[in-house]
Amino acid sequence: MEHYSLKINGHVYETGAEPFESLLDVLREKLRLTGSKKGCDEGECGSCTVLLDGKPVLSCILMVSDVRDREVLTVEGLPQGGEPHPIQVEMTERGGIQCGYCTPGIIMSAYALLQENPRPSEDEIRFAIAGNICRCTGYSKIVEALQAAAGTPIR
């Protein structure tokens, strides 16, 4: 067992872990940050998406040893001053959420997109969330919510 100091959502968390444990398991089971979800545990569904140094990655197949000296952002880190992020608000109000299990992953992928490209087109939004599977919505309401969050026109 190794000791790790992990920088997550601007805080430093101390934890013991095997170097090859997934960041997702460490987040969920050891640090109790359960916002990132385990849908497949094989890097296929995107529910576990977190940002590593600003880029979206799959925390279920990311070894915790590769997170040393880097910054992790999870869905819990998005609200500012106690207020939900606009993506979180629009997803809530525009029907982008049904069962909610894919939602944190979608929100993290969308957040990463908007950091790089604040005014994405519908195609760019769809490309950015192509790694996030949702079984409830059929994606339309999600795309609309993300367009609203970005302030781009909804078709």
With CB under 8 A as the contact rule, the residue among 13, 15, 41, 152 that binds other proteins is: 41
Dist CA 88 CA 97 (whole Å): 10
Phi, then psi, of 39 in degrees rounded to 5: -100, -45
Give me the half-sphere count of Cα atoms (radius 13 Å) on the Cβ side of residue 52: 19
With CB under 8 A as the contact rule, the residue among 103, 120, 144, 146 that binds other proteins is: 103
Kindly identify the residues of this chain, within the stretch 56-95, that bind other proteins according to CB under 8 A: 56-58, 60-63, 65-66, 74-76, 78-79, 83-84, 87-89, 91-95
Alpha-helical runs (H) found in 17-116: 23-25, 86-93, 103-116
Cβ pair 19, 64 in contact under 8 A: yes
Residue ranges in contact with other proteins by CB under 8 A: 2, 18-20, 22, 28-29, 32, 34-47, 49, 52, 55-58, 60-63, 65-66, 74-76, 78-79, 83-84, 87-89, 91-95, 97-104, 107, 109, 112, 127-128, 130-136
